[in-house]
Amino acid sequence: MIEINDVSYTYEDDPQPALSHIRLQVRPGEWLAVIGANGSGKSTLARMCNGLLVPDQGQVLVDGLDTAKPGEVFAARQKVAFVFQNPDNQFVATTVGDDVAFGPENLGLPPEEIGKRVEDALDAVDLREKMDKPPHLLSGGEKQRVAIAGALAMASRYLVLDEPTSMLDPALRASLLDTLSRLRREKGLALIYITNIMEEAVLADRILVLHEGRVVREGTPRQIFADGQWLRQYRLALPPAAAFASELARSGHPSLQGLLEAEEVASALDALRPSVFPRHPAGTAAGEAAGTPAGDWQIMAENVDYDYPEIGIGKTHALRRISFGIRAGELAAIIGRGGSGKSTLAALLAGLYQPSGGKLTVNGRQAEKHGVFPRVGLVFQYPEQQLFGETVFEEVSYGAKNFGAAPESLPGLVARALDTVGLDSSLLMDKSPFALSGGQKRRVCLAATLVTEPQILILDEPSAGLDEGGRQWLMQLLLQLHAQGKTVIWISHNMDEVAEFAERLLVLDQGRLVADGPPARVMAGEAALHRAGLRPPPLYHLAQALRDRGWPVAADCITLDRLKQEALFLLGGDPAVTG
């Protein structure tokens, strides 16, 4: 058992405690989900579980071993494997296989046992074929899977995972969760699972909710998600199916309150089924999103290839014969499994890479060696790792200076960019960006891109790791920039997010463009999505479950608002109008 007894912890130079009087027990074989807004103390609590951090007050025991005692902490860590939020922080070897073997080797296991553990762990995350590849050459999602494999190879009694699926595509997320469930069932493995994805928290035996370093609620998933009102206070949200049921309950159907799973919501709705379904009056049913806007092509890719050279190995074909066009003012999302070429395509569109073949034109300029495209801003994965300036002013003004902004204009440009991302320029200009919170760092990086006033804004997984409040803020900012006429392109693994906000989806699989169109049309091709390592969002499956029961649910019902609108119409429309 892991016992956390009245634990408090404060980081150096931070007046606010990260954890305050936490009392918790994690039993062998239990699945504990820990949720809370960014900065609530989730990662700090996770690091307490195996002695990476030692309490200022209180005690952490792992099967009776005190993590604060030098003579006991090493043995405690052998019992508790850890997967960090950012996989780059835990790589120690030059190949994937050696990295996964590092932990078992340090346990002094025989070579044949180490080899078997490495192969089994890489099979579990579908990366056996990458065993001899350097970790730094993998995609973000592949790196995360290697980190998880390293933890699985330790065969520990407890496994702590800090947002392990934030960079994984939906298929791999489902595969990982199945793997964790199997390991728990077969080996009695206990899971301490940090997540901002509420549909993952539903799988746990118990959920702990943190806010500002304190436990504000604890209970089963059904208890925690019985009502969404209090969750919103803490920048959290209900899982999609539960949110839909709650919305209908508040709209006059109280029997749906507190339901969690798509199938049980569909069954409960079937009990309310009208004798005759109403039919939408001609021309009033919501339809598919409009196609691409009129105007000239701002981006044009024609049979674009890109190869990564690998010393001693040859070439890795990252993109193959990619062709598409994007007009000014589009709001498009690029989706696909890890390693499908999404980040490579983003770098090409910014001019950081040049095609190995084909033709790429952006803002009227063709890709050329050593030339970035003008008026294109790119925000990388983990943008906070880009920070380098001594002050926020230096950080944000750097791009504007490089593009020739007059020195006297810089304070105004920086202040406007910081204000746009919701930061108080008067308080932060002279602060070190490294002293800011994680959320503030991410906003500073976005401001450093916006200060150059790009016509095209490209973001690589911008909402990964954000709580629901932060994600909604970010997406509203992107909508605001889009309304100002900017072309916004973002990469995402969040299918709910792209269904709700994107006008257009581009789907990549193994370096090829396999689908392109409005979200409802792309998601209707469910078989193609599965082949690309993706899954439609949960509400798509709920709508399909209703169709399977004979409900005439429109094909574009892939978001909460749209499905709620359709369900209320079908439940309360004019029964005299037959369908």
Q: What is the pLDDT along the chain (579 residues), one digit of tens a residue?
A: 999 999 999 998 778 899 999 999 999 999 999 999 988 999 999 999 989 999 999 999 999 999 999 999 988 988 998 988 778 888 999 999 999 999 899 888 899 999 999 999 998 888 899 999 999 888 767 887 898 889 889 888 899 999 888 878 888 788 888 888 887 888 788 999 999 999 999 999 999 999 999 999 999 999 999 988 899 899 999 999 999 999 999 999 999 999 999 999 999 999 999 988 888 776 555 555 445 555 678 999 999 999 987 655 556 789 999 999 999 999 999 999 888 999 999 999 999 899 999 999 998 888 876 567 888 999 987 777 788 899 999 999 998 988 888 999 999 999 999 999 989 988 889 999 988 877 788 889 999 999 999 999 999 999 887 888 888 999 999 999 999 999 999 999 899 999 999 999 999 999 999 999 999 999 888 888 888 888 888 899 899 999 999 999 998 899 999 999 999 999 985 433 333
pLDDT of residue 380: 87
How many Cα atoms sit within 13 Å of 346 on the Cβ side?
26
Domain ranges of the chain: 2-233, 240-288+539-572, 297-535
Residue 296 pLDDT? 79
Q: Count other C-beta atoms under 10 Å from residue 579's C-beta.
A: 11
Sheet of 357-362, strands arranged across: 314-327, 297-310, 357-362, 365-366
Separation of alpha carbons 165 and 176, rounded Å: 8
2-233 with 297-535: one CATH topology?
yes
The confidence score (pLDDT) of residue 579 equals 36
pLDDT given for residue 122 in this prediction: 92
Give the integer Cα–Cα distance in Å for 104 and 114: 6
CA nearest to 103, candidates 93, 112, 537:
93
Q: Are 39 and 439 in contact (CB under 8 A)?
A: yes
Domain 297-535, CATH: 3.40.50.300
Q: Which pLDDT score is estimated for 528? A: 83
CB 234 within 8 A of CB 209: yes
Q: What is the pTM of this model?
A: 0.85
Whole-angstrom distance between the N-terminal and C-terminal Cα of the chain? Answer: 58
- Angstrom distance (rounded) from CA 338 to CA 374: 28
Strand 214-219 and strand 206-211: pairing?
antiparallel
- 358 touches 302 (CB < 8 A): yes
Picking from 496, 437, 448, 446, the residue whose alpha carbon sits closest to that of residue 472 is 496
Residues 6+ apart with CB under 8 A from 239: 198, 199, 201, 202, 225, 260, 538
Tell me if residue 269 falls in helix, strand or coil: helix
Write down the pLDDT at residue 286: 52
Q: At what angle do helices 538-548 and 560-572 cross, to 10 degrees?
A: 20
**The architecture CATH gives domain 2-233:** 3-Layer(aba) Sandwich (3.40)
In 3D, which of 495, 538, 520, 505 has the Cα closest to residue 285? 520
